[in-house]
Amino acid sequence: MPLFLIAMGLVTLAGLIALAAGRSGRWSTLVGAGGAVVGCTLGLVSVFRVALGQPAQALRLPWAMPGATFHVELDALSGFFLVPTLLLAALAAIYGIEYLRSFREKKNLGVLWCCFDLLVVSMAMVMIARDGLLFLVAWETMALVSFFLVAFEHEKDEVRKASWIYLVATHIGTAFLLVMFLLLAREAGSFDFDSFGRARAAGPALVGLVFMLGVVGFGTKAGFVPLHVWLPEAHPAAPSHVSAVMSGVMIKTGLYGLLRLLTLLGFPPAWWGWLLVGIGVSSGVLGVLFALAQHDLKRLLAYHSVENIGIITLGIGLGLLGVSLKIPALAVLGFAGGLLHVLNHALFKGLLFLGAGAVLHATGTREIDHLGGLAKSMPRTSLLFVIGAAAISGLPPLNGFVSELLIYLGAFSSIAAARPLVVLVPAVIGVAGLALIGGLAAACFTKASGMVFLGEPRSHHAEHAHEPSLSMQVPMMILAAGCIVIGLLPAAVVPALAAATLPLVGPLGSVVVTTLEHAAKSLGMITLAAGVFLFVVAALTIWRRWLLVRRPVEESVTWDCGYAHPTTRMQYTASSYAQPLTKLFALFLRTRQHLVSPQGIFPSASSLSTETPDLFSRGLFAPLFARAESALSRLRVVQLGRVQIYVLYIVVALLSLMIWKVN
């Protein structure tokens, strides 16, 4: 614990020094990024040990805040979430050094690195805080510094708009959390997490209310549909290494908060599980559908975060059902699968965002339909991106498959064991949902990697692309290696989830280790199957080379039915590739088409463009906010624009408060 706090202190200090050295782009980068790397590496050492099951370490200091103490604790659950957080933060910092080089003249990088470092520290504080107020302070710091990071390129209109949406969304979420903590503290008499257990005495209605407030508050950060609307705006707007951290780990603080809340609220009723299974499946399916319709690479990836949060939530929901109805396999496999997917998603989503950043860096555009053929100019990046794409689509032998397999196994085992309908229905919905999500995700990522990296360049942007420098490649390679290692050796990884799963399953704690070891037996067979697969692939590769070595091998053009003047713009585009699926699901997507069709006998210039604005931000939040605005605009009568009047308001407010208090 002291080591961890020192490491975080170091990151904070580095951030402040970077801020002070803001004038010099070189020094602020060196200190800001270097401090993050060193601090996160130091922190990882102590976090790893705790995540693997070493005893929790706590620290309690007096704090000058009324009713609160500075109570922090590093236990297995916190440790488990901190591993991907610190790892991805360190890698993103290394990546950011080179990524931001072109901004050194134009921007004050000290501010950016200070915010980045503070983001890392505040995420860590959120995960170790054991006091309501401390948690909220860290939560709010995290929201504010990430707002500044999103607004990095604030001279662009769309970036400003995106950062405002983010700021509003995150504060609405925080408002729910504030009420939640106040309710808990009122019942428990203190803001300390340890005392929150007393709130259970207030009856199921209050506990249920607290749970719902938590789902909305934490769900806004995590991106549950329909609270996800800020994600596809904010993540593309931020610099790519920041997007990687935000999408890969920051949104997970919402899930962490929800899980921590669950450990405090005691025995869960079954409806919590149903609710989370419902949220999980709908977020998963809608997230991937919205992603399919996008043609901005980073926006597409942001929607995929919604999808993956859905998968994790599905796992948590099934786990809760298992705890509630005392089904050990479902509880342990659901929670363990969800937790492992948290780690996995950080790895492959980090990898994909960094890959998208490399594409943006090399071509200057995120528009998939303007790219193409980058596998030739960026062979390493394309290989790494394809690994990430296969991993996020849940293909074996990569890590996404392992975590989805655990969730599937939990659901399937309850189906096979002839459980009652209350479990069976969510389990079947989970299986069908995951299958559909898997198929659609494969469609979406063949689109993303195929249209960006394969074929011919579709515009001049893509023609002069180049491989990024080594300091940008190495972080991606490490993340890809993580995806491969977990995928190949799942039997070594999954039993290590026991410590983090333990606090979540409550009374079923005694079976966690045996259930996971039982699952590890199956996973060992997956290693065997992966070995056979790799052997066959290697053998076929050698055989093919041997077959072709004495035969004529020629190069020619792609078969185009004998058409005489093909151009690269005649290739299938991302929009046309996804069109059958977007048309099929038009009910949810409402893609808008702007078509100028050819006129007259001789074809004239024509054009077609499509856009898919978010269904919920257009259909739900825009009208809601418009109505709120028109209702609140009546209050403008008190807004007179004179400072004296406002001072008067303050005095009146203070006086009335004092009178109220004295009475």
Partner 1 sequence: MNFTALLPPSAALVLAPLLLGIVNRTKAIFGGRRGQPLLQLYFDLFKLLGKGATYSQTTTWLFSAGPIIGLGAVFVAALLVPLGGVSGSLSFTGDLLLFAYLLAMMRFFTVLAALDTGSSFEGMGASREVLISALAEPGLFLCLATLARQTGSLALSKMLGEITTRSWLQHGPALALVAAALLVVILAENARIPVDDPNTHLELTMIHEVMVLDHGGPDLAFISYGSALKLWVLSALFVGVVVPVRTGQVLVDAAAGLAGMFLLAVVIGVVESTMARLKLLRVPNLLVGATALAILALVLVVK
Q: For residues 445-474, which are near partner 1 according to CB under 8 A?
A: 445-447, 449-451, 454-456
564 binds partner 1 (CB under 8 A): no
Write out the binding residues for partner 1, residues 163-192 only, by CB under 8 A.
none
- Least distance to partner 1, CB of residue 556, Å: 5
Q: How far apart are CA 125 and CA 59, in angstroms?
A: 13
Cα–Cα dist 393/331, whole Å = 24
Answer whether 121's CB lies under 8 Å from 18's CB: no
Quote the CA–CA distance of 338 and 505 in Å, as a whole number.
Answer: 13
CB of 475 to partner 1, least distance (A): 23
CB under 8 Å to 480, separation ≥6 — which residues? 351, 384, 387, 388
Interface pick for partner 1 out of 205, 557, 601, 632 (rule CB under 8 A): 557
| Least distance CB 303 / partner 1 (angstroms) | 16
3-state secondary structure of 595: strand
- The answer to the question of residue 559 lying near partner 1 (CB under 8 A) is yes
Site for partner 1 contains 526 (CB under 8 A) = yes
Q: Is 579 in the site for partner 1 (CB under 8 A)?
A: yes
Q: Does 548 bind partner 1 (CB under 8 A)?
A: yes
Examine residue 226 and say whether the peptide bond preceding it is cis (omega within 30 degrees of 0).
Answer: yes
Decide: is 527 part of the binding site for partner 1 (CB under 8 A). no
238 binds partner 1 (CB under 8 A): no
How many residues lie near partner 1 (CB under 8 A)? Answer: 83
Q: How far is CA 625 from the centre of its chain?
A: 26
| Closer to partner 1 by Cβ: residue 25 or 284 | 284
Question: CB-wise, 545 or 636, nearer to partner 1?
Answer: 545
Among 199, 321, 341, residue whose Cα is nearest residue 266? 199
Tokens of 160: 């400003």
| 55 vs 566 by CB, closer to partner 1 | 566
| Residue 445 contacts residue 301 (beta carbons within 8 Å) | no
Reference 447, options 246, 288, 284, 238; nearest CA is: 288
Least separation in angstroms between CB 509 and partner 1 = 23
CB of 417 to partner 1, least distance (A): 7
Q: Using the rule CB under 8 A, is 553 a contact of partner 1?
A: yes
Q: At what angle do helices 328-363 and 379-392 cross, to 10 degrees?
A: 160
Phi–psi pair at 595, nearest 5 degrees = -115, 125
Among 382, 403, 515, 617, binds partner 1 (CB under 8 A): 382
CB-CB contact of 398 with 487 (8 Å): yes
CA dihedral 258, 260, 263, 269 (to 10 degrees): 0
Q: Which of the stretches 180-188, 203-211, 498-506, 574-582 binds partner 1 when contact is defined by CB under 8 A? A: 574-582
**Cα dist. 380→229, 384, 485 in Å?**
33, 6, 19
Single out the segment in contact with partner 1 by CB under 8 A; choices: 45-53, 116-124, 538-546, 627-635. Answer: 538-546
Print the binding letters for residues 581-620 with partner 1: x by CB under 8 A, - otherwise. Answer: x--x------------------------------------
Binding partner 1 by CB under 8 A: which of 440, 462, 486, 512?
440
> Would you count residue 522 as binding partner 1 (CB under 8 A)?
yes
Nearest distance from C-beta of residue 428 to partner 1, angstroms: 6
Instruction: Give the residue, chosen from 66, 105, 205, 558, that forms a contact with partner 1 under the rule CB under 8 A.
Output: 558
Contact map string, positions 24 to 63, toward partner 1, x by CB under 8 A? ----------------------------------------
How distant, in Å, are the alpha carbons of 54, 182, 409, 488, 649 from that of 502?
A: 13, 28, 19, 25, 53
Tell which residue, 512, 455, 504, 482, has the closest CA to residue 329.
512
Give the residue with the Cβ less far from partner 1, 535 or 649: 535
80 vs 412 by CB, closer to partner 1: 412
DSSP per-residue letters across 192-260: BGGGGGGGGGG-HHHHHHHHHHHHHHHHHHHT-TTTTTTHHHHHHHS-HHHHHHIIIIITHHHHHHHHH
Binding to partner 1 by CB under 8 A, coded x per residue (else -) over 395-434, reads: xx----x---x--xx--xx-xxxx--x--x---x--xx-x
- The reply to whether 435 sits near partner 1 by the rule CB under 8 A is yes
Q: How far is the CB of 468 from partner 1 (least distance, A)?
A: 18
Q: How far is the CB of 573 from partner 1 (least distance, A)?
A: 8
Instruction: Assess 520 for contact with partner 1 (CB under 8 A).
Output: no
Q: What residues from 296 to 355 belong to the interface with partner 1 (CB under 8 A)?
A: none
Query: What tokens does 527 get?
Result: 């290693």
Q: Of 322 and 394, which CB lies nearer to partner 1 in the complex structure?
A: 394
CB of 463 to partner 1, least distance (A): 14
CB of 449 to partner 1, least distance (A): 7
Residue in 67, 269, 379, 507 binding partner 1, rule: CB under 8 A: 379
Minimum distance between the CB of residue 496 and partner 1, rounded to whole angstroms?
19
H or E element: which one contains 501? helix 498-501
**Contact flag: residue 561 with partner 1 (CB under 8 A):** yes
Cα separation of 211 and 268, whole Å? 10
DSSP assignment, residue 296?
A: B
| Least distance to partner 1, CB of residue 51, Å | 25
Q: Residue 513, Cα to own-chain centre: how many angstroms?
A: 28
Q: How far is the CB of 201 from partner 1 (least distance, A)?
A: 39
Q: Which CB atom, from 223 or from 433, has the smaller least distance to partner 1? A: 433
Q: How far is the CB of 399 from partner 1 (least distance, A)?
A: 13
CA distance 189 to 185: 5
State phi, psi for 326 to the nearest 5 degrees. Answer: 60, 50
Bridge partners of 71?
60
Considering the complex, what minimum distance in angstroms separates the CB of residue 402 from partner 1?
Answer: 11
Among 3, 59, 175, 442, binds partner 1 (CB under 8 A): 442
Q: Which of 394, 426, 475, 487 binds partner 1 (CB under 8 A)?
A: 394
Judged by beta carbon, residue 150 or residue 578, the one nearer partner 1 is 578
Contact 353, 243 (CB under 8 A): yes
The C-alpha atoms of residue 388 and residue 478 are separated, in whole angstroms, by 12
Determine, following the binding rule CB under 8 A, whether residue 562 of this chain makes contact with partner 1.
no
Q: Which residues contact 407 (CB under 8 A, 6 or more apart)?
A: 311, 314, 315, 318, 333, 334, 337, 338, 341, 430, 434
Q: CA–CA separation, 545 vs 539, rounded Å?
A: 10
Question: Which position among 45, 182, 201, 536 is part of the footprint of partner 1 (CB under 8 A)?
Answer: 536
Q: Which is nearer to partner 1, 190 or 527 (CB)?
A: 527
390 binds partner 1 (CB under 8 A): yes
For CA atoms 104, 105, 110, 115, the dihedral sign is negative
Q: Alpha carbon of 470 to those of 64, 373, 467, 473, 595: distances in Å?
A: 47, 21, 9, 5, 44
Q: Does 280 bind partner 1 (CB under 8 A)?
A: no
Kindly state the smallest distance separating residue 535's Cβ from partner 1, in Å. 9
